[in-house]
């Protein structure tokens, strides 16, 4: 597991008390605010980020900030640690304010994470961390791409190709749970169909359909390894219409059933000697 949730809560207006927000620092954990309305703001150093509905606001450990809430400010807040250095560096590079591209999926994963965490059980916390890690992956996949529109050099064509494929790739990552139309990927990439397949194959060494299957299988294996999520839920979450179809596809690809994979992964972790 790459993340550990410390605390989850909703901001509620104090009763009969004047608000006096103060600058503060979280020394060893991150803060994520998911806003419900446009009341209040986040202040980092001297820069202000007015809250917008259904946006994400990150603060990293050791960064002084102020949550300038008002009496009608509404948001859900997560305090969490990142246990993977590479993931931490990626999150640290994010802008303080981020709008999720696949809002529905992000909301579902955050809601499920908060629900599991509220159970107060060790198993619930494990599931909460797993859902939050998936949410974080989706949020990172939807982060703005840093492609300069002013670079008119010999690499312009390559950059345009990359942008087109990035549009398709972001859509795949944000919608892998749902049915994905290749025709729609072609449309949002602004390529002709044959051109899209050719550039995609050059970039990833495989076809879009096989790439999507690979992504879904990797997501499924991560859930099988790190959670006790029921098989039917994993199947639906990873874009398979039924548990039966998921089992068939998994065994064809991996040589064993999802249950056998989970048991083998569990046994392997127990055999590790510290």
Q: What is the phi/psi pair of residue 30, to 5°?
A: -90, 160
Please name which of 107, 98, 57, 100 lies closest in space to residue 77, comparing C-alpha atoms.
57
Are the C-beta atoms of residues 69 and 92 closer than 8 Å to each other? no
- Look at residue 1 in the predicted model and tell me its pLDDT: 65
Angle of the 208-226 helix axis to the 243-254 helix axis, nearest 10: 100
Give the Cα separation of 121 and 123 in Å (integer). Answer: 5
The secondary structure of 45-84 as a DSSP string is: TTEEEE--TT-EEEE-TT--EEEE--TT--EEEEEEEE--
What are the residues whose beta carbons fall under 8 Å from the beta carbon of 213, sequence distance 6 or more? 249, 253
Return all residues near 268 (Cβ < 8 A) that are at least 6 apart.
Answer: none
- CA dist 61 and 30 (Å) reads 5
Residue 228's CB: how many other CB atoms inside 10 A?
Answer: 12
Q: What angle do CA 120, 264, 6 make, to 5 degrees?
A: 25
As a whole number of angstroms, the distance between CA 75 and CA 86 comes to: 28
Q: What is the pLDDT of residue 156?
A: 43
pLDDT along the chain (274 residues), means of 10: 88 62 88 90 87 90 90 91 86 83 77 86 86 80 41 44 78 90 88 88 90 92 89 93 93 92 74 38
> DSSP label at 35?
E
Question: Which pLDDT value is given to residue 255?
Answer: 92
Per-residue model confidence (pLDDT) at position 148: 35
* φ, ψ of residue 112 in degrees (nearest 5): -65, -40
Tokens of residue 5, six digits: 């949730």
Specify the pLDDT at position 145: 35
pTM (2 d.p.): 0.52
Please say whether the beta carbons of 59 and 96 come within 8 A.
yes
Give the tokens for residue 25.
């620092």
């Amino acid at each position: 597991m790459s993340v550990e949730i410390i605390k989850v809560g909703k901001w509620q207006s104090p009763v009969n008390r004047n608000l006096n927000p103060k600058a503060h620092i979280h020394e060893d954990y991150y803060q994520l605010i998911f806003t419900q309305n446009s009341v209040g703001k986040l202040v980092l150093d001297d820069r202000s980020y007015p809250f917008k509905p259904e946006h994400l606001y990150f603060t990293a450990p050791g960064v002084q900030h102020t949550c300038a809430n008002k009496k009608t400010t509404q948001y859900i807040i997560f305090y969490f640690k990142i246990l993977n250095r590479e993931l931490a560096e990626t999150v640290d590079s994010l802008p303080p304010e981020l709008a999720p591209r696949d809002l529905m999926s992000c909301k579902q994963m955050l809601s499920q994470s908060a629900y599991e965490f509220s159970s107060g059980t060790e198993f619930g916390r494990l599931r909460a961390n797993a859902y939050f890690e998936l949410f974080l992956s989706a949020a990172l996949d939807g982060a703005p791409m840093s492609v300069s529109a002013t670079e008119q050099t010999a690499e312009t064509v390559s950059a345009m190709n990359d942008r087109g494929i990035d549009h398709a790739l972001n859509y795949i990552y944000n919608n892998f749970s749902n049915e994905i139309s290749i025709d729609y990927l072609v449309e949002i990439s602004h390529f002709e169909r044959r051109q899209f397949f050719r550039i995609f194959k050059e970039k990833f060494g495989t076809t879009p359909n096989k790439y999507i299957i690979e992504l879904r299988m990797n997501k499924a294996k991560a859930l099988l390894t790190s959670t006790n999520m029921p098989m039917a839920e994993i199947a639906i979450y990873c874009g398979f219409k039924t548990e039966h179809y998921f089992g068939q596809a998994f065994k064809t690809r991996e040589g064993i059933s999802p249950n056998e994979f989970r048991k083998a992964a569990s046994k392997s972790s127990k055999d590790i000697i510290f």
